[in-house]
Structure 1
C-alpha cells in the first residue's frame, strides 16, 4: 500500500535526513513545503511553496493526499531578543503555525501527525543519575521550550477528537554528518591539537545521532502503539563532556591534550565571562531514559554512539578539504 508523507523543515539538518530516509522506502512519496523551491532536495520529492509558518499559512496544496505529516520546522533560538519579544515570536511559528498545519491536516484526512519537539520541554538539567522520563511533568525554562510545550498540549488536545493521531518526539542534542553550531565548533578546536581544559568534567549527558532520530521517526510513521504518545530519544548511552571529547579526538585522528582542570573552576570562570549558558551545556548533566521506546515500540537505537561520532568526524574532516 502506497504512503504519502509530508515533511516540513526539509532543508534543515534533520529534515533533509528524514526526506532521504523516506525517499528510499518502497511505495512512498514525499512532499516538502519550502520557501525556496530550488532547495537541492532530490528530484523525486514533490516540492510545494509556502511563504511563512504562522496562523495564516495555507497548507492545502501540500496536504493533498497525505497520510502522515512529520513537522520538523520550527523557530529556534535567536540571539539578542528580549524575553517578551522572543516568546511571542516563538509562539507565532511553533504554536500558532503548528496548530494551523494540524487543523488543516485533520481537514485533509491525514491519519498521523508526528511533531518534532525538544528535550527542553522537560527542562534544562537533570540531577546526576536521575534521567528525564517521557511522562515526567514538563518544566520548560526558555521561550523555545515553552512554545514547544504549548504546541504539544494543543496537539494532544486535538488528538482527543479521534480525528487524527499525534506522536511527539523530544530529541536531546542531535549530532551527525553536517552538524553545525557548538558541536562543529567543538570538533574544530579538538582537531587543532591545542590543549583544552576539559579533562576532568564528571557530568553525564545524553546525545543522539541523526540516524537514530530518523530511525525512531520512521518507526513512528506506522507503529500502531505510537499513537498519541510522547517519546524521548537518545543513543541510549550517556557520557561526560570529557569522555565525549576523548571519543571525538580518536574519531578525528587528533592529538589534543585534555587538561584536568576542575569543572567547578571552569564554571565559575565561564559565569564571570557571561557564558553561563555555555557552561551549563558543557558541565551540567542532562540525561534521558528511553526504555519506553523499547517497551512500547520494540525500538532500540540502531547506531552506536561511537559509530555516530565516527561518521560525524569523517564528514567534518572531508568538508574542510573542500
Structure 2
C-alpha cells in the first residue's frame, strides 16, 4: 500500500460520492481507494478501486480495508418515493444496516481509525413546526423504512465505537442539490425552463437544503478534525427558504423567471390528499428546518457556498445537460 494515509470511499459512483472524488485533490496528504459493486463501475470510479459485489451483511471488504485509515461510507440503498416491495424495510436493512455494520466490523479488524457515515435527516423525522428546527442530538423519530434503516445503522455504529474505540462520525444531510441532482429538484428545474405556470406562489414554509459542495466540504472537515470523533452532525446551507422563494431564485439562476400562481397551501394539500400524494405535498408545503449550530461551533465550520451560488452552478449543469 502507499506510504500516504488512505481513505476508503464507498458509493463513489453516486451523487455524493462522485462529488467527493471531484474535490479530493484538495486533500493531497491522502491516497484515495474506492469500492465499486461491479467491474462496469471501474471506469466511472475515477480512482484506484476494488470490486466487492453487492453490499450486504456478507460482503467481503478484506481487499479494500487493509491499510486504510479513514472510511467514508456514502453507499446506501437510496430513498425511493414509490416503493412497492412487500417489505421495503427488509430491503433497506440489507444494505443500509447489515451492509454498513459489516463494513464497519471489518474496518475495526483492519485497524481503521475513523468511520464517517453519511446518514439522513430522515432519522430525525419528516418535518418541523415553526421555530423548532431539528437538532443533532434530538431523539430520533423516523417515519419511513429508509429513515428507520439509517437510524438502526447509526445505533449499531455507536455501539461498535463504544466497544472497539474506532471513531465514528455521523453526518445527516437534508435535501442535497447540485449539478446532476435528480428527482423533484430536477423536475422543478424542468418546469421552470419550459415556462410552465406552477401553483406554488403562496407557500410560506421554511426548508433547509444543502448544496453538494457544502456537504462535501463538511465530509472533508470531518476526516481529521479531532472534535468530530463520535459525534452526530446536521448539515445545511445555513439559510432556510420557502418553496416559493426557492423557485423564484432557481428561475433567476436558469434565466427563466418563475411563473408562480398564488394558490393557498391548504388547497394544494387537499388536492394532493385526494390523489394520494400527501408525501409530495409535505415536501412542497411543509417545513423542515435544521439547527447546524453544533456543526458550526464544534468544528468551526461555515458553509462555504451560498444558496444562490449553488443554484447557479446547478442551473448551469442542467442547461448544459438537459436543455439542448
TM-score, L = length of structure 1: 0.96
Equivalent pair of 2:15/2:180 in contact (CA under 8 Å): yes
Cα distance in structure 1, aligned partners of 2:214 and 2:310? 9
Indicate which of 23, 41, 45 corresponds to 2:44.
41
Residue 3 of structure 1 deviates from its aligned partner by 2.0
Indicate which of 230, 244, 253 corresponds to 1:251.
253
Paired position in structure 2 for 1:182 = 184
Paired position in structure 2 for 1:81 = 84
Paired residue total: 320
Equivalent pair of 2:247/2:258 in contact (CA under 8 Å): no
SS at match of 1:47: strand
TM-score, L = length of structure 2: 0.96
Indicate which of 28, 32, 35 corresponds to 2:34.
32
Q: CA RMSD in A?
A: 1.3
Equivalent pair of 1:37/1:47 in contact (CA under 8 Å): no
Equivalent pair of 2:35/2:49 in contact (CA under 8 Å): yes
Paired position in structure 1 for 2:64 = 62
Cα distance in structure 2, aligned partners of 1:32 and 1:288? 31
Structural mapping, 1:61-210, within 5 Å: 61-78=63-80, 79-82=82-85, 85-210=87-212
Asked if 1:11 is matched to 2:13, the reply is yes
SS at match of 1:62: helix
SS at match of 1:161: helix
Residue 27 of structure 1 deviates from its aligned partner by 2.6
Structural mapping, 1:279-290, within 5 Å: 279-290=281-292
Residue 174 of structure 1 deviates from its aligned partner by 0.1
Cα distance in structure 2, aligned partners of 1:293 and 1:309? 23
Equivalent pair of 1:3/1:27 in contact (CA under 8 Å): yes
Structure 1: segments with no counterpart, 5+ residues: none
Residue 224 of structure 1 deviates from its aligned partner by 0.4
Aligned structure 1 segments of 4 or more residues deviating by more than 6 angstroms: none
59-68 or 14-23, larger mean C-alpha shift: 14-23
Residue 130 of structure 1 deviates from its aligned partner by 1.1
SS at match of 1:73: coil
Cα distance in structure 2, aligned partners of 1:28 and 1:154? 28
Paired position in structure 2 for 1:266 = 268
SS at match of 1:160: helix
1:82-132 residue CA offsets vs partner (Å, 9 max, x unmatched)? 5x6111111111111111000000000000000000000000000022100
Residue 195 of structure 1 deviates from its aligned partner by 1.5
Structure 2: segments with no counterpart, 5+ residues: none
Cα distance in structure 1, aligned partners of 2:126 and 2:196? 30
Cα distance in structure 2, aligned partners of 1:81 and 1:193? 33
Equivalent pair of 2:108/2:164 in contact (CA under 8 Å): no
